[in-house]
Amino acid sequence: MTIVLESLLAFILVYKYAALFVITFVAAFFLPLPASTTLVAASAFAFQGYFSFPAVFGIALLGNIAGDNLGFFISKKYGEELLRLIGFKKILTSPNFHMLKEYTKTNTASLIFVSRFMTEIGPSVNVLSGIIGMSYRKYLFYEITGEASYVLLYSSIGYYLGSRWENGVNFLTTAGIFMTSLGLLFFLIQSRLFKRGRNSS
């Protein structure tokens, strides 16, 4: 178990639901914390009677949605100007970034939904969704659907493992890497097909 995860678990045991909200919010907004493993642990604690499972599910879902939405609204309001200000000017003027924006417009549903399971990629997708001016109603539908599926999956795993959850940390880490790799492969294949379709039209 990493020092970061141990610190997060201590934070949760002391501050309980407020800590769970802060961790999921920050991870969804911009910082790549081990939120998935933390959610599994909190659900395992619920199995042991330290927390309420419905409350863990609800707070984690609320934290994720709040963090995602903040990133979306900031990027929608300030857009590329903010990214230029913090040093992304060259990336924003590149042909690949232009293609990425077009790809996001075309593959909204799959991009938002799948990225909810990849905490390292989710914040970037939120920013892209805001930059292209996506309808908030459309964004919110796929956002809630994806986050509810993600939180339900990991909280159910934690509750099922119960007091044995620590034995599954390595497995969960490997599974997270696998899911992220699978998601990146999915997006790569989609982007290649999208690029080929643009070139042939």
HEC letters along 64-108: HHHHHHHHHHHHHHHHHHHHHHCCCHHHHCCHHHHHHHHHHHHCH
Q: Which pLDDT tens digit goes with each residue over 131-168?
A: 988 999 999 999 999 999 999 999 998 898 887 777 66
The total of structural domains in the chain comes to 1
Which residue in this structure is represented by tokens 């939180």?
151
| Res. 200: pLDDT tops 80 | no
| Res. 10: pLDDT tops 90 | yes
Q: Are 15 and 50 in contact (CB under 8 A)?
A: no
DSSP 166: G
Report the C-alpha gap between 48 and 154 in whole angstroms: 16
Its domain, for residue 182, covers 3-200
Q: Which two tokens stand for residue 198?
A: 């643009």
Q: What is the pLDDT of residue 26?
A: 96
Q: Which pLDDT tens digit goes with each residue over 41-63?
A: 999 999 999 999 999 999 999 99
Q: What is the pLDDT of residue 121?
A: 85
Of the listed ranges 85-89, 141-145, 147-151, 190-194, the one predicted with least confidence? 190-194
pTM: 0.84
Exposure b/e, 65-90, CB count within 10 A at least 16 = b: bebbbbbbebbbeebbeebeeeeeee
Q: What is the DSSP string of 126-156?
A: HHHHHHTT--HHHHHHHHHHHHHHHHHHHHH
Distances (CA, A) of 196 to 91, 107, 193, 200: 22, 15, 5, 6
Q: If you average pLDDT over every residue of the chain, what do you get?
A: 85
* Other C-beta atoms lying within 10 Å of the C-beta of residue 171: 11
User: Cα angle at 74 between 190 and 78, to 5 degrees?
Assistant: 95
Report the share of the chain in percent with pLDDT over 90. 47
